[in-house]
Every structure is written in structure tokens, then in C-alpha cells.
Structure 1
Amino acid sequence: RIAAHLRAHDDVDELDVAASLARGRAALEHRAVIVDTGRDGLLAGLDALTAGKSPASVVTGVRRGDPRAVFVFPGQGSQWQGMGVDLLSYSPAFATRFGECAKALEPYVEWDLLDVLHGASGAPPLDDVDVVQPVLWAVMVSLAEAWRAAGVEPAAVVGHSQGEIAAACVAGALSLEDGARVVALRSRIIRQDLAGRGGMMSVALPADRTAELLADWDGRLQLAVVNGPGSVVVCGEPEALDELRSRLDTDDVQARRIPVDYASHSVFVEEIRSRLLTELTGLAPRTSSVPFYSTVTAGPLDTAGLDVEYWYTNLRQPVRFEETTRALLDDGFEIFIEASPHPGLLAGLGETAESAGVAAALVGTLRRKDGSPRKFLTSLAEAYVRGADVDWETRFAGSGARRVDLPTYPFQRKRYWLEVTEHTGDPLANGQVSADHPLLGAAVSVAGTGGVLLTGRLSLSTQPWLADHAVGGTVLFPGSGFVELAIRAGDEVGRGRVDELTLETPLVLPERGGVAVQVVVDADLRTVSVHSRPEDVPAGAAWTRHARGTLAEAGPEPAHEPAP
């Protein structure tokens, strides 16, 4: 109906369409936003939405009951050359705050903030610790201001390592001047007194298992960061890290050296305590109106205590990000927005949320090599469809956009003559049997082999709850889903128990469109496998096998034991 109305009114331009579509109604759970630069693209997005397709221009989601959003600020690692430059001419709020951050840094640095971002001749390299940390701080604080200008106010903030400095400024606990002083002077001390003597490495293991391993190195290695249930960072002597890496490779444990030559959150930091306390004397923290969740104490903290001693402890003690995330989830927060040039914490945060049984909404801001206005608008849309309070009217203020009057109810009519319609969507009409399952559409016996084939289609538009299983922005079909498909296939052949099931390849769900799924039970009626392929490939394209297992007879029901 919207598309028909817009096609009938040539005086409505693309800004009108964007403003109208973005508005939505707060009471509706299912939301959609179409992001495009022209009328034809917006109309194509509407047609795709009507057809249940999900091209790159269409963002859909289900609104959560609690619209409160947590702003998340990562530590070092999300930087890239040119990050945020495109927003300087697009977002006045971002540009203004960025200029204020640059001015606040001037007394402590000998380089120009914009020159570093542009990689100008004579500017220091972005990878130097006393350059990248102040630059990241300025970009993250400015991105948070861009979110605020779009109506998304933080209900709480959380920072990771140096990200806590940005979090403190955004919450109002530190002035920009104090924030610039902490990030610039502390990173300078790190380069001068710690660089070249240590290293850090991410390890895909739980914290307790990692601690057991590190005991073999007798203090040469320490646990620096706990990001999630199966993700930590280890720091210490470079040679000891190499030894640990060799053992992890032998045990087939994923590990990656972080490109730094110092060891934050280790005993090395104790050597710079005196200098750090001296050079940061005079900070004036204050109690903030926005709750500040500390990754030092793993919970809410009165920000009047963010004095110089705190910023030493922040650098010395392990980053308790997983514990702090659980505290936020326990307090009812479900929407997390990472205000950074590239999402670095959403994967660990997603693992923690999944282990806590919370379907959290995880939203980034920009991505590496994509800091365009369109990317920022898409991030706003991703937050909006999940329930965040985006103020689209303010966002489009001054652009010439206006609301478009649309029909408030569908046009209705009743024909006099009966109509005969072919029910082509009925499996029985196509010689199949309905699978009676939310993920599978039909089941059919395979002639000549005795096996059974169940088919279905997975997409974020028809099964939006699958979007809750996202890791680092990538939606993965959950392991429990493969088990459910295997159980349903077993029911079809009278074997209602899965004896074993091996997951071989992750099933990645595309942001737009869907994938065809086949669950195959072989002729022995015991071997089951799950396959998929994108729905837009030729008919002869290969299928990918994701899981394979064995079905068994359903065991007897457990005997009822009376209560004592």
C-alpha cells in the first residue's frame, strides 16, 4: 500500500519516504527500515519487504520490551586509517564533539588529530600506542554524541580497558579535558616505560582453564582480560607467550597474538605506578547521571571515585568484562550499542548473553573500511527495529523531509462470484506431506532408496528470532537447532532419539534472503544429515553438509517416582 501510494504521488521524494518509513509506531513489535539513496531503491526495498526478501537496504527486527540502551566502548584494536572521516561532513554532532576532543588533546600531543586520521605526510603512525589510544578515545566519544543526536541516549555505559576513559566522559564523570589528559599521558607513559618488554595474546578458552595452564609459567604469564565464557586475553613475557602458543596449537586451541609490544594488566604496570599517579594528579571526577558499570569492579560504580588511583588500577588489574556484562544483563538491559569504529566486543558479549539465556540485541556503529553515512544510518535502523528510541524527526530536521499521509487501513472489497484458487503452497497438493514444524515445510519418501527427505527454508525475515544468535554481527544457526531438525527427522521414520550428532560446518544465515535446508535420513533409517545452500543459486549448485549423526529407537519413558 505504501509503495502504491508513493508511485501515485510524484511530488514525494526519497527523503519523504525515508522519514515516513522510519517513523513507525511504538506499539508495533515488528519493525522495518529501508535505507537507500534514491526513490527507485526505496521502492525496490518496499517490494522486497512485501515479498519477504531481505536485500542490503532492508533492516527488519522485533522490538524488545525495554528500550534502554547500553553504550559499549572497546579498548585498543578497533582502529583503522580514516575511521570517522566521512561523518565529519555528515553529522554536525559528530564533527562538533570531534573538534572539542581535538582541542582538549592539544596540550598533551604534538600531532594533529585530523592529520593522523587522514594519514597525512609527517603525521605519526596510527599504530603507536600514544597515538592510537587518544585517537580512538576522540572517535568513540564523538560517535556516542552522534547516537545521542539521533535520539538514542545511553541508559548505562561500560568500557573495556582504555574504553573506560571514553565511557567516563560520555557518562559525564570526567570532563573532556580530564579525559584527554588521562588517555594522552597514560599512553605516553606506556610507550616510554613499558613498550618492547611484553606482549598479549587472545585465547579461545574459559578463564578457569586458562588459569590452570598459566600456572606452568610461574608468573611469567597472567590473565589480562576475560571477555566471555570462552574468550580471554593472556599477557606477559614475549618468549613465554610463544611457548604457550605452541602448546595451544598442539591442543588445537585457537590463539592469536595481539599486535602490541607491551603487557597491560600485568605486573609490569606496577613499575609505572609512581609516575602515573604523579602526572595525573589533580583529576576532578564527579558523580554521573548515567550509570557507569566498571570492568574493574564488575558492577555499577559511583564515578566520583574515578580518581588517579582508579586509572592506575584500570591499567593494572584484569578486565572483568564478562562479569560486568552479566551484571548489566541481570539488571534487565537487553540492547547493547558499541560506539566504536569497528565492533570488537559484541562476540564475547553475545556469548555471555547466550549463556545467561538472554536474547540480547547487539548493534555496532561503523565497520572497518566502512565509515559511510549510509553505514551509520543502517546502524541506527538496526537499533530502532530492536526497540531503541531513535528520534527520526530530529535526524531528518532541516533536510526537507516530511511525513507522508498513508492509508490507515487496507482497502477492502468482497466479490460476488466465488473464486477457485490453486493452493500451490499446500505440500499435499505437490505430492508431499506437511512437516508440521516451524523450520521445515514438507517431508517426502525418496523412491527406490527407502530414505526420507525433509525440506525447509531459513531466513531472518520469516524466523526473526534467529537473529538473536549473532556473534560479531554474523548470525549463526544455533547448535540446538541442528538437534531439533535431527529429532524431527527421527520422528518421521519412527526413531525419536538422536544417539549422536556431529556439527561439521557452521550455517551462516545471510542478512538478506534465505537458505534452503534439507534433512536427509538414509535408507538404513539411522543415519541423518543436515544440508543447506543459498536459495538464489542455480538448481545444480552444491549443497553444504553441516551436521551428521545417528538416530536410535526412542527409549522407554522414565518411571514415575512419587514425591517423598
Structure 2
Amino acid sequence: MSPTDVAVIGLACRLPGAATSRDFWHLVRDGREVSDSPCDAAEFDADFFNLSPREACAMDPRQRLALELAWELFEDALLVPETSRGEQVSVFVGAMTDDYAVLTLREGTDNLDHHSFGGVSRTMIANRISYALGLQGSSMIVDTGQSSSLVAVHLACESLCAGESRLAIAGGIHLNLADETAMLEKEFGAMSMSGHTYAFDGRADGYVRAEGAGLVLLKPLGPAIRDGNRIRAVIRGSAVGNSGHTSAGQTVPSVSGQADVIRRALARAGLDGGDVDYIEAHGTGTEVGDPVEARALGEIFAERQQDPVRIGSVKTNIGHTGSAAGIAGLLKAVLTVENGVIPPSLNYDSTASGNDLKSFGLQVNTTLASWPVRDRPRRAGVSSFGMGGTNAHVIVEEAPAQPDSVVVEPEQDMPMAWVLSARSEQALTNQAARLAVRVAADDGLTATDVAWSLATTRSVFEHRAVLVGGDRQVLATGLTRLADGDPGAIAGRARATGKTVFVFPGQGSQWLGMGRQLYHRFPVFARAFDHAVDAVDAHLRSGLRDVIWGIDPDLLANTEFAQPALFVVEVALTALLQAWGIEPDLVMGHSVGEITAAHVAGVLTLDDAARLVAARGRLMAGLPDGGVMVAVAAGEDEVTPLLTDGVAIAAVNARNSVVISGAEVPVSALADRLAQQGARVHRLAVSHAFHSVLVEPMIDEFGRLVADVEAGEPRIGLVSNLTGRLAGAGYGSAQYWVEHVRQPVRFLDGVRLAESLGANVFVEVGPAAGLSAAVEHSLSTEHAAAVATLAKDRPEVDTLLVAAGQLFALGTPVVWPSVLSGLGGRQVELPTYGFARQRFWLGLGADAPAPVSRAADLAEQLQALTPDDQHRRLVELVCTHAATVLGHSSSRDIDVERAFQDIGFESLTGVELRNRLKAVTGLALSRTLIFDFPTPAALADHLRRQLLHEDRDDSGDEKIWSSLKKIPLRELRRTGLLDKLLLLAGESDAPLPDPEVGNDIIDALSADALIAMALESNSADDAD
């Protein structure tokens, strides 16, 4: 291995008849001719790249195509594009002519705006890639005419070998959009009249005009092997040179110039003419060019007349793609050495007079042929020549053998998850459809390989779907249904999540065998389960594992074992969820479940929690018989006035759900009375009347046994059952746990508190799913939800994977590689992103300015509406004008919860939106409006306060504070604003808080710090 060897680790293309490198290989392998198949240059997924329709229309389609291909390139390389953000990754793209600029200027000045100059700039083709992906290496356009893209590859290899970049994107793009350029080429006199490319054939009458694009992702070979990258081929050497002055004229190819560049490429690779078996020729099919190329090749290979080098030209398949011709040839060569067969070169008659190239040591390959058997790697050369004399040649070699991944065969019907995501609902459907086609067509694609590849090689976006199943057919069927829009799939749109709450259920949720399936599937669960069982067994009269997984349901139902059993399962389940990246911001429990919450929050050590739960269960089980508990579908306010002696409210679970507890006679009487009034009642299967006066015989002994329990400070927010508030001073003392046994469970108050603190995801961590329903009934926020992790009589692994999928769909971070660890999957090639393309072309612009309206009139209209209708009215106002500014056809195309910058706004379009809103409302609005109020919803709220004079006394720093409060902390971190906030607050040495914690940090900042940060952030964008 030479230090100059470069690995090709990714391919992407859009060529005639081929939207992917896989399609392209099938096309050339099968010997098809599709040169009359143009690229659809107008189609583009602008929203994926946060571009407005207006800007997309102004952009040269080559810029758009470059963006999509660059994304596909990383995915083909099995790399997540975001992992290269901020890295030294270079971009070299070959491009010639500027047809879209010709069209733009031809259309006249009516369609010009501030996007137009950058939109038709050729250099922006490469720069768009660097900007969109955050790449900080060299970024340039290469124009050497028809050799541009292969010269770009050479420059990329040079950059890598010099250590200037760790990865490089190289290739070329060529589109035929303007009739003017076509006329120039026709007048040049080298175009085919027959419409076919006759490379090296006596019938040659010129090149066939075509278009297309291709990119390769390159990496030094040593690091590629070390990092386990999939290596498609190796570039052993390359060279570029110009023919210089020739007597035949500048546009006439030179034998010596072409031979020189091939000879130098071989020398750089440490090879000679006997080490190469195939040449992907420039082969344009021109009367002058091909004979010159044959003679130049003959200078290198003439000695191989007995073992001729096979040659071919991809131009016979797809035509001459101009500045993308060289990359098209390189892609063919890479796929040829990778697959070990040489595709046919078309339109060549070896029997025709004058077509014999044997004297040059060459043979045109006219049929699909196996690679010649050699005792060395397969090697091919690729040539590309520019009309100005700049020539390039690249030597491609078969990839070195790579060790096979060690694959653990999964058990039959082992449940797993296929995870998909996209930037839009349509793209998600496209993803599912593309993957469904691939799975159906490739029987060798295992379910585990698909699961692992989706989890480790794809980016995560807001539109999400998760399929859970135990075999390939079940998952494939789910994929087809998802592609057809079946709502049964776990799917949703992730929103900026608030805080996540772990909720631990209490007694009554247990069942025989709980946790066994999780124990055998997930080592993390098993280890945590074993530790918790060991801690609890020290305080029990019988081994807890045998009770939980035994055959006696009555033994597990005994309070003595039920409560410790729940604690063990909940602790183990928490450890597993945390290993999957699902972390709580708050914890709370129901009755005995609060002991688990206290342990998870760090208040109780494992040993103290185990001792506490064991003593509680044993003493409760030893209470005198008698007493009942009844669940009532009624509110606390309805039930409290009806309480009689001996009856207590044991739990307030939801707005219309309480539990009464006490002696059997009075409790039954009250239950009957409530039932007669129309309330549903249900007697609970419990042995005693917990949380009532009937538990008092155990109080003193319980207090004595737990007197030395030490309570630490909670590491995360802990909501008390006793108070319905956050744990404070005195929480976790022996006296607290005594009161906890006797007093009612104020679960509803805890849910409401958590929601008021910003929680919108509640995870029931334990068996059964009873608390999830109670939480759902208590939530007031539309986008809040409760998710149960286990359910009785359903497979545990399936249920937990479904829960993880539901959380993921809501927006909770889930580390899917951790979820799927142990399955033995490998990274395999999957269909790349399913872009949701729309048509963008010249002529789409903003409408005329909005008519002026008096603020007083609008305010008067708003005052006649409800607050919700006021908000809807102003959101529609903002979205209507935002849609016009961006070039959307409808206000429905504007996502009110996405940041303005993420839907295509920048400084100048932000000012345009401000001007339109200023005209229609009559308000004095800042030119930094879209930065001060970063989403359409936030801006609508600001307009409402201004119009209704609710903001009149706000100081500038208060306005900034209120706008920052609307930005999720994760977004502050992504944009770098969080670092500024912490720095300005003097907290920069402290570790950054978790993105899910919330906006608590903002509350601690001074107004001066906020003002300074805001001014610094917005000054560069202030159009004034």
C-alpha cells in the first residue's frame, strides 16, 4: 500500500437512464443505449436544504443537483453526513458553460432578485455543498472543458495525499439547458448527425450531446482500512497535463499530450503498460479524436498485441456528458473492477475495415466479459481530454480484501426495529417505498442487516416511523403499508420536546414472569436486574427471582414480594432505557413506585432503597386482614364531601379518577352511592386498604426499621406523591416514608406540576399500562403524551421496542444502535434518501406588496375574537406573507413551528417579510424580526401583544428574553447560542446541560448578558 493510494468509498450519480450508481451499473452491464434520456433538472427538494422556493428557482439546477448528490454520496458510503460537519472535507467539482445564467438573463430583469447573482454563479456549485454540510476544506469549481471532472478527481487525490483534507468529494455536473449553447456546439462541427456514438469505429460521425452528474467520496486508503469503510476501489495514481502548442490547432487532440499523461499516471502508481487490463477511453466517436486517442494508447500498450488491453467508452451508452464525462468514465471503471466483469462498448463492428486496433495492443470490448485471470489485482485506466488540451488519466485498482464482519446469527423471530426518518411526510413515504422495492428485490438482504444499517448510516429527521417485527416478511409488509400511508405504523412528527418524565407504577401492576424476556435479550437489563435482586434478597425470606419467575401467582401477589418485585423490574428497565439514550428530566412514582423514583434520582442508594421497599412490603403484608380499595371514575371534589368515617381517598390519579380506601362496610356503601349517581366503580384486587387508617398498625415499626436511611440530594427533578411538588428539604427522611405510607397519593398534582415545568413526554417505566391512561386524562397540552413500556399478555421485547419507537416519533432521542446491539447486523447498502422533489424554474417571484391596513382596524377585529382565534388569525397572516416572500403557493406550506432560518429565510427575505407585515399592521417592527421571534408562531404572538398593547411596557432586554425562551435548548446548542449564553453568564467552565433539561439556564442570565448576546448574534444580519 502506497501513501498516495486513495480509496473510493462512495458513489453517487444522476446520469441518462440511471438515478443511482446501482442503476448505472445495470445499464452499462446490460449494454443499453440511453443517450437521449435527459436529467430532470427542474425537480428539487428545496425544503430538505432549508431553501425557499424563491431561492430554489433562482439557483442554477447544477447547484441543486450537487446538493442532492452530495447527500446521497455520504449515504452510499454508509456515513452519516452530520459527522463530517466542521471537518476538513474538500469539494472539487468540474463544470463548464453556464446555461441557467443564459436563461436568467434572457428572461429579462423582471425575475431578478437578490438570489440571482449567487444563483447563477458557477463557483456556488461546490460552495453550496460545503455550506449545506458544514465542510471546511477546499471548495472549488474546476473548468478544463470536457476533462473537468476527472481533473477534479486528480486535485482531490492531491489534497488528500498532502494531508489538506481527510475526505474529499470530487466529480462533475453538466446540464444542457440553453439553445444558445447547443447552437455553439453545433457550429463547432463535432456533433453526431446519426444520434449514436461510434467510438473507435469507422462510422464515427461525432459526439452525442448528453447531460448528467456524478460524484465520488475519496479517503486515503490507510485510514479507510483502519476505519472499516466500505472500499469500492482504489485510485493508485493520476496525472493531469496540457498538450501545449500543437501545429494542428488548440482544439485538435494531441497524441503526445495524451500519451504523456497516461505514462505519468502509470509511473505515479508504480506500474507499467503490462499491469492494466482495461481502459475506459475518452472515446467520443469523433473522426479526429478517436484515431488520435488510439495512437496515444498504442504508445503505451503496443507491445501487448498478443494480450491486448480491452477498451470501451461509456459514451456509447449515455452520450457525451461534457464536464461530467470523466466522472462517468470513472464510475464505470470503479464498478467494473468491483464486479469483476467488463461491460460491452456499443456501436462497434470489429469486422469492419479499418476497425482493427490490434497493432496498438488494443481490443474494443463488445460483449459482457469476465475479467482476465491474473495473479494481481484488477486494474483499469480512465482517460478524459479537454478541448483546450488539458488531459487527465486515473488508474483504478480493485479494493484490497477486507475482513468479513463477524455476524451473530439472530434467534428465529427475534424482534427488531426498522427506523426511518425524513424531513417531510412525503419524503418519509418515499423512503419506505424505495426500501420496500429493494427488500423485495434482494433476498440476501437480512432483516438484521437492514435494521443495523438504518440505525447506523442514516441521519435523523423530524418525520419518523418505526417498524417492529420478528422476521423479514413481517417488517417488509409493514414497510409496504407505510409506503401506502397506513396509519397503523408507529409514525409521527418529532417536535421540540420538553422534559421527559419517568413514571413508576405501584402495586397491582405486577405479573408472573415479568422481565424474563427482557433479561434474556438485553444484557444491560440482566445486569441491573441481578444487582437489584441481590440487594433485595438480603432482606427477604425467599429468593425474589424464584418468586417473579416462578409458578405461584398468589406468592407474587403477596404484598411482601409484590413491592420488591416491582422495584427490581423498574430499576432494571430504567437502566435499559438509559442505555438506549432515553433519559428522564423528572421522575415520579405511584405509591411504592416512588421508592424507585427516589433511587433513580439519587436520593436513595440501591441498598437503602432495597431495605426500604422490603420492610414496607413485609409490614404491609402483615397487617390485619380486612379493608378494601375501590377505583371511582369521579373527581376529588365530587368524592371528598361524601367521605364518611373509615373511608379515605387513597389516591387522586386523574381529573376524574380517585381511589377510596378503608373498612369494607363504609367503603362499599360509598361505592354503591357513587355508582347510583352514575360513576363507574371498580373494586381493586388488593389484600389491604392501603393509604388509609388501617395501615397505622405498621407505622411505628416501619419508622424504626428505616430510621437510619440516608437521603441524598436529587440529581434530577423528583416529584413527591405526598405533596404533588418537587422534592425539597426533608425529602426522603424516615418520617417522609412513614407519611408516604399513610397519606393519599397525589398523582394528579404531580402530573400537573411536571407539565407546568415543561414536561410533555411521560414514560411509564414498569409493568402494565394503567398510569399511562391516567396521565393522558390529566394532560392539558395538545402535543404531550404518555407511553407505556410494557403490557401484560404481550411480548415484552416487542412492547418495549414499540415504546421506544413511540418516544422516537414524539421527538425523544433514542440511540438505536444501542437498542439493536447484539443482533449481529452488518452495514449494507440501502436506497439513499427519498427526496420529495418539486418543480422549480425561472419565473416564480413574490407578489406585489400587501395593501396598507391600519393597526387600529386589525386590533379592533382581534378584540372581537377569543384568544385562540386571535392566535390563529395572526398565524395565518404571518404564514400568508411568509409564503409569498419565499415563493410558496399556499400558506399551508409554511410550518409554524420551524425556525424561519430552517424554512428558507435569511436577512434580506426577513426584512421583506418585516416590510410586508409592517404595511399590513401599521406597527413599528424591527428589521431583525425573524431573529428576535424565530418561528411564525412566536412572531404571531408578538404581533398580538403589540396590536393589543400588551407589550407596550416591555424593555428591550425583556423582549429578547421572551424570544429566547421560545427557542428549545437543543436548538440553542445546535446554533451555538447556548455557548454564548453560558459564556456571557460567566458559566463557561461548567459542563453543558443536557439538551432535554429545558430552558432553565436562561432564567439565570442577566438582562445585560442577553442584550449583549442578541446584539452580537444579530449585528451581522442587520440590514441597517
* Matching of residue 276 in structure 1 with residue 702 in structure 2: yes
Letter in 1 for 2:573: L
**Residue 692 (structure 2) aligns with:** 266
More off after superposition, 165-174 vs 200-209? 165-174
Once the two structures are superposed, the pairs formed by residues 173-322 of structure 1 within 5 Å of their partners are: 173-192=603-622, 194-214=623-643, 217=644, 219-302=645-728, 305-322=731-748
Seen in structure 2, the aligned counterparts of structure 1 residues 124 and 51 have a Cα distance that, compared at 3 Å, is closer
* Matching of residue 40 in structure 1 with residue 498 in structure 2: no
**Could you tell me how far apart the structure 2 residues matched to 1:288 and 1:377 are?**
29
Match of 1:407, SS?
coil
**Could you tell me how far apart the structure 2 residues matched to 1:347 and 1:412 are?**
40
Identity of aligned residues (%): 34
Once the two structures are superposed, the pairs formed by residues 292-371 of structure 1 within 5 Å of their partners are: 292-302=718-728, 305-353=731-779, 356-371=780-795
Match of 2:465, SS?
strand
**Could you tell me how far apart the structure 1 residues matched to 2:641 and 2:810 are?**
40
Deviation of residue 373 (structure 1)?
1.5
Deviation of residue 22 (structure 1)?
5.0
CA deviations 1:19-58 (Å, max 9, x no partner) are 3445697763321011122222222211100111145xx3
Deviation of residue 120 (structure 1)?
4.0
**Residue 129 (structure 1) aligns with:** 559
CA deviations 1:107-145 (Å, max 9, x no partner) are 211112221122247x97111111111111111111111
Once the two structures are superposed, the pairs formed by residues 339-488 of structure 1 within 5 Å of their partners are: 339-353=765-779, 356-403=780-827, 404-410=829-835
**Could you tell me how far apart the structure 2 residues matched to 1:389 and 1:411 are?**
25
**Could you tell me how far apart the structure 2 residues matched to 1:18 and 1:208 are?**
51
Match of 1:370, SS?
coil
**Could you tell me how far apart the structure 1 residues matched to 2:457 and 2:717 are?**
29
CA deviations 1:202-250 (Å, max 9, x no partner) are 1111101100111xx2x22111111111000111111111211221232
Deviation of residue 269 (structure 1)?
3.2
Deviation of residue 16 (structure 1)?
2.3
**Could you tell me how far apart the structure 2 residues matched to 1:67 and 1:8 are?**
42
Letter in 2 for 1:94: F
* Matching of residue 103 in structure 1 with residue 103 in structure 2: no
Deviation of residue 105 (structure 1)?
1.2
Seen in structure 2, the aligned counterparts of structure 1 residues 317 and 13 have a Cα distance that, compared at 3 Å, is same
**Could you tell me how far apart the structure 2 residues matched to 1:166 and 1:284 are?**
15
Deviation of residue 100 (structure 1)?
0.8
Seen in structure 2, the aligned counterparts of structure 1 residues 99 and 413 have a Cα distance that, compared at 3 Å, is closer
Q: Number of residues paired by the alignment?
A: 405
* Matching of residue 118 in structure 1 with residue 549 in structure 2: yes
Whether the 8 Å contact between 2:455 and 2:817 is mirrored in structure 1 is: no
Letter in 2 for 1:179: A
**Could you tell me how far apart the structure 1 residues matched to 2:707 and 2:568 are?**
22
**Residue 51 (structure 1) aligns with:** 484
Give the alignment's TM-score, normalised by structure 2: 0.38
CA deviations 1:46-72 (Å, max 9, x no partner) are 1100111145xx311221211642110
Match of 2:524, SS?
helix
Deviation of residue 295 (structure 1)?
1.5
More off after superposition, 8-17 vs 102-111? 8-17
| Structure 1 alignment gaps of length 5 or more | 415-564
* Matching of residue 88 in structure 1 with residue 512 in structure 2: no
Deviation of residue 93 (structure 1)?
1.2
**Residue 508 (structure 1) aligns with:** none
CA deviations 1:244-291 (Å, max 9, x no partner) are 122123222211111123222222333332211111121122112121
Match of 1:299, SS?
coil
User: Given the alignment, which residue of 561, 564, 569 partners 1:139?
Assistant: 569
**Could you tell me how far apart the structure 2 residues matched to 1:197 and 1:24 are?**
60
Whether the 8 Å contact between 1:94 and 1:143 is mirrored in structure 2 is: yes
| Structure 2 alignment gaps of length 5 or more | 1-433, 840-1024
Match of 1:164, SS?
helix
Match of 1:235, SS?
strand
Match of 2:556, SS?
coil
Whether the 8 Å contact between 1:124 and 1:131 is mirrored in structure 2 is: no
**Residue 297 (structure 2) aligns with:** none
Match of 2:538, SS?
helix
User: Given the alignment, which residue of 406, 425, 437 partners 1:4?
Assistant: 437
**Residue 590 (structure 2) aligns with:** 160
Structure with the bigger RCO (C-alpha within 8 Å, sep 6+) is 1
Whether the 8 Å contact between 2:760 and 2:781 is mirrored in structure 1 is: no
**Residue 429 (structure 1) aligns with:** none
Whether the 8 Å contact between 1:203 and 1:233 is mirrored in structure 2 is: yes
Deviation of residue 411 (structure 1)?
9.6
Whether the 8 Å contact between 2:619 and 2:702 is mirrored in structure 1 is: yes
**Could you tell me how far apart the structure 1 residues matched to 2:782 and 2:690 are?**
31
**Could you tell me how far apart the structure 1 residues matched to 2:754 and 2:602 are?**
19
**Could you tell me how far apart the structure 2 residues matched to 1:412 and 1:28 are?**
17
Seen in structure 2, the aligned counterparts of structure 1 residues 251 and 62 have a Cα distance that, compared at 3 Å, is same
**Could you tell me how far apart the structure 2 residues matched to 1:407 and 1:79 are?**
44
**Residue 17 (structure 1) aligns with:** 450
**Could you tell me how far apart the structure 1 residues matched to 2:764 and 2:596 are?**
12
Deviation of residue 9 (structure 1)?
4.4
Please identify the structure whose Cα radius of gyration is greater: 2
Deviation of residue 10 (structure 1)?
4.4
Seen in structure 2, the aligned counterparts of structure 1 residues 303 and 195 have a Cα distance that, compared at 3 Å, is farther
Whether the 8 Å contact between 1:221 and 1:237 is mirrored in structure 2 is: yes
Letter in 2 for 1:388: T
Match of 1:82, SS?
coil
* Matching of residue 148 in structure 1 with residue 547 in structure 2: no
Whether the 8 Å contact between 1:22 and 1:33 is mirrored in structure 2 is: no
For the aligned residue pairs, the C-alpha RMSD in angstroms reads 2.3
**Could you tell me how far apart the structure 1 residues matched to 2:811 and 2:563 are?**
32
| Higher fraction of helix | 2
Whether the 8 Å contact between 2:635 and 2:656 is mirrored in structure 1 is: yes
Give the alignment's TM-score, normalised by structure 1: 0.68
Whether the 8 Å contact between 1:87 and 1:371 is mirrored in structure 2 is: no
Whether the 8 Å contact between 1:108 and 1:181 is mirrored in structure 2 is: yes
**Could you tell me how far apart the structure 2 residues matched to 1:372 and 1:265 are?**
31
Whether the 8 Å contact between 1:227 and 1:348 is mirrored in structure 2 is: yes
Letter in 2 for 1:237: A
Seen in structure 2, the aligned counterparts of structure 1 residues 390 and 357 have a Cα distance that, compared at 3 Å, is closer
Match of 1:334, SS?
strand
**Could you tell me how far apart the structure 1 residues matched to 2:766 and 2:836 are?**
46
